[in-house]
Amino acid sequence: MVTLASGTILTGLGVGLNAVRGEVFRVKPQATLPGPAKHAGDAAGEKETLRGAIHHVAGYLDELSVKAGETSAEIFEALKMLLEDEDLFETAIAEIESGWNAATAFIVAVDSLDAIFAGDAAFEERLVDLKDLARRVAAHISGIHMGLDLPTTGSYVIVGDDFSPADTAQFTDAVVGVVTIKGGPTSHTAIICRSRSIPALVCCPQAVDLVDGMQVLVDPVGDRVVVGGDASMATKAISFVAKSLDPIIPVRANIGSLEDSIQAATTAANGVGLFRTELLYLSETTMPPATKQAKSYAEILKAAPEGPIVVRTIDAGSDKPVPFLDMPHEENPALGIRGFRLIQDHRQFLIDQLESLEVARKETGREVWVMAPMIATASEAIEFAELARGSGDYKVGIMVETPAIAMALADLAGKLDFISVGTNDLSQYLFAADRMNAGLGALLNPWQPALVRMLQVIASESEKAGISSGVCGESASDPAFAVVLAGLGFNSVSASRSQVGAVRSALSAVTLEQAQEVAKVALAATTADQCKSAVLDALATLA
């Protein structure tokens, strides 16, 4: 470890628009649990102890789910379901019967899943979370406290490798800033900090040298942390002065639940640009009947902000396993059966979804657009369009998330009403950089010139094909990037709810011609850093 002098600058990827100064608080390594041990002969008592401890940790997940709100509640529900799985409990009971105490038995039972799910990358991610929960169960049995132990008063910048959903839900009011060594622009930490307006720097390897007690400035606009820095050193976020009441292109909101829809309606969002329907199902073990689906869609449509509502059909698979869809275990699930490819084995579910959405559309009278995720060929897009048009009165589109479909848009003239670019996945597939790999954040930076140039191709090819185009990936939540998107020719953007206001301000402060000039600056850049700083400079001269 090196000692960092005052004034040292650590670089990474900034999240947010405001700089903040605080004292470094390094998240401590978790407490050590007692090693494996046998019980004293009371197997029945051990079983009771285990049930009680699982119940306790499940209750803790419930609390986290309530606190997390918006983006993460479904994640906790899915984890709770894994934790309370009866087969897992039975495996642990067998271990207790062979002599192990409750804590050891549960850890052994969870570890035994390793062999069963080896090679299934999506489940391996969940297994990491489940192992964390098994440690919590064991800790509860041994009377050990396992929280992050974050301070509750003062102003702290917390520093860690990366933060899981369970970690971020424990952030207290004293957490004014966050720095992670790993993680990228679409990591859980980034998404949560963005939605809670906590300034953050992710993907900052040099943060390993930050130690407790140092004062630091987290300067997200400058993509840096300044050791010993103060507010006067903060890179100024451009203060956009509105030139018009309305943004040059509509700004919609991304939602995944009824709560999100209600919250989005409190913003000035022009409708919903991405309703991630799979988030409703992350913890469902049985297929939700069409009537239940229609009811939940109707509630969400009714609550949504005024304007069109773009609903994405289920995007299960890879990072979003949905329990009731029996999905094959794959070596490389991000490149496997996910999104629209589910039609191979689950065609009926897709039809049910489109038909129940039509019931909800009729009931609410809302304007609904539907789109399919993970489309790779024009034939898939056409197959979806036919299915959707046969199921309801929708505008029909697809997500552009693969380089392959970006190169086939000309073949879709007259077939689609709109496309929406998912830059999170498009970056993953363009750069061959797993979006779940916390070490590859720099490649997933939306300011990468190759992404910007691919976006230009998508916007212009869509326009030539007479297809309306939008962007709903996380990149559209960055106000400066949203100006670039408008300048490239996109017809709308859809942002995380907390960013709708900032993105609207940016898009109300420039004319379309100015946005086009800014886009040219972005297209001329050769590195991500240069692209971002050139665009910010160009915007600063306009402000």
Strands 9-11 and 224-227: antiparallel
Q: Could you tell me the smallest distance in angstroms from the CB atom of residue 276 to ligand PEP?
A: 5
Q: Could you tell me the smallest distance in angstroms from the CB atom of residue 318 to ligand PEP?
A: 8
Q: Could you tell me the smallest distance in angstroms from the CB atom of residue 386 to ligand PEP?
A: 23
Compute φ and ψ for 22, nearest 5 degrees.
-165, 175
- Comparison of 263 and 423: residue with beta carbon closer to ligand PEP: 423
DSSP assigned state of 153: S
- Comparison of 126 and 276: residue with beta carbon closer to ligand PEP: 276
Q: Give yes or no for residue 423 binding ligand PEP (CB under 6 A).
A: yes
Stretch that binds ligand PEP, among 408-416, 417-425, 482-490, 518-526 (CB under 6 A): 417-425
Q: Give yes or no for residue 425 binding ligand PEP (CB under 6 A).
A: yes
- Comparison of 129 and 425: residue with beta carbon closer to ligand PEP: 425
329 is catalytic: no
Q: Give yes or no for residue 167 binding ligand PEP (CB under 6 A).
A: no
Site for ligand PEP in 307-336 (CB under 6 A): 315
Q: Which does 472 bind (CB under 5 to 8 A by kind): Mg ion, ligand PEP, none?
A: ligand PEP
Query: Which of 188, 204, 346, 531 does the annotation list as catalytic?
Result: 188
Q: Could you tell me the smallest distance in angstroms from the CB atom of residue 273 to ligand PEP?
A: 9
Q: Give yes or no for residue 472 binding ligand PEP (CB under 6 A).
A: yes
Compute φ and ψ for 299, nearest 5 degrees.
-60, -45
- The burial class, CB within 10 Å (0-12 / 13-18 / 19+), for 230 is exposed
Stretch that binds Mg ion, among 196-204, 316-324, 360-368, 397-405 (CB under 5 A): 397-405
Compute φ and ψ for 233, nearest 5 degrees.
-90, -5
Q: Could you tell me the smallest distance in angstroms from the CB atom of residue 540 to Mg ion?
A: 32
Query: Which of 193, 203, 204, 472 does the annotation list as catalytic?
Result: 472
| Cα 348 to Cα 64, 209, 325, 368, 449, distances in angstroms | 34, 53, 11, 21, 41
Q: Could you tell me the smallest distance in angstroms from the CB atom of residue 510 to ligand PEP?
A: 24
Contacts by residues 456-459 (CB-CB < 8 Å, ≥ 24 positions apart): 456/488, 456/489, 456/519, 456/523, 457/406, 457/407, 458/400, 458/406, 458/409, 458/419, 458/421, 459/485, 459/488, 459/489, 459/490
For residues 271 and 304, is the Cβ–Cβ distance under 8 A? yes
Strands 200-202 and 175-180: parallel
Stretch that binds ligand PEP, among 7-15, 65-73, 421-429, 523-531 (CB under 6 A): 421-429
Q: Could you tell me the smallest distance in angstroms from the CB atom of residue 373 to Mg ion?
A: 6
- Comparison of 274 and 409: residue with beta carbon closer to ligand PEP: 274
- Both tokens assigned to 279: 């988030």
Angle of CA points 66, 425, 269, to nearest 5°: 55
- Comparison of 254 and 270: residue with beta carbon closer to ligand PEP: 254
What is the C-alpha to C-alpha distance for residues 287 and 144, in angstroms, rounded to an integer? 39
What is the C-alpha to C-alpha distance for residues 409 and 419, in angstroms, rounded to an integer? 9
Stretch that binds ligand PEP, among 54-62, 226-234, 423-431, 454-462 (CB under 6 A): 423-431
Site for Mg ion in 405-424 (CB under 5 A): 422
Q: Give yes or no for residue 425 binding Mg ion (CB under 5 A).
A: yes
- Comparison of 108 and 255: residue with beta carbon closer to Mg ion: 255
- The burial class, CB within 10 Å (0-12 / 13-18 / 19+), for 87 is exposed
- Comparison of 135 and 276: residue with beta carbon closer to ligand PEP: 276
Angle of CA points 211, 215, 219, to nearest 5°: 105
Site for ligand PEP (CB under 6 A): how many residues? 10
531 is catalytic: no
Q: Give yes or no for residue 507 binding ligand PEP (CB under 6 A).
A: no
For residues 455 and 473, is the Cβ–Cβ distance under 8 A? no
What is the C-alpha to C-alpha distance for residues 239 and 492, in angstroms, rounded to an integer? 22
Please, where are the H alpha helices in 286-430?
290-303, 343-364, 378-391, 403-406, 423-430
What is the C-alpha to C-alpha distance for residues 250 and 256, in angstroms, rounded to an integer? 20
Q: Give yes or no for residue 401 binding ligand PEP (CB under 6 A).
A: yes
Q: Which does 293 bind (CB under 5 to 8 A by kind): ligand PEP, Mg ion, none?
A: none
Q: Which does 23 bind (CB under 5 to 8 A by kind): ligand PEP, Mg ion, none?
A: none
Q: Give yes or no for residue 338 binding ligand PEP (CB under 6 A).
A: no
Residues found near ligand PEP in the complex (CB under 6 A): 274, 276, 315, 401, 422-425, 472-473
Q: Please identify every residue annotated as catalytic.
A: 188, 472
Residues found near Mg ion in the complex (CB under 5 A): 401, 422, 425
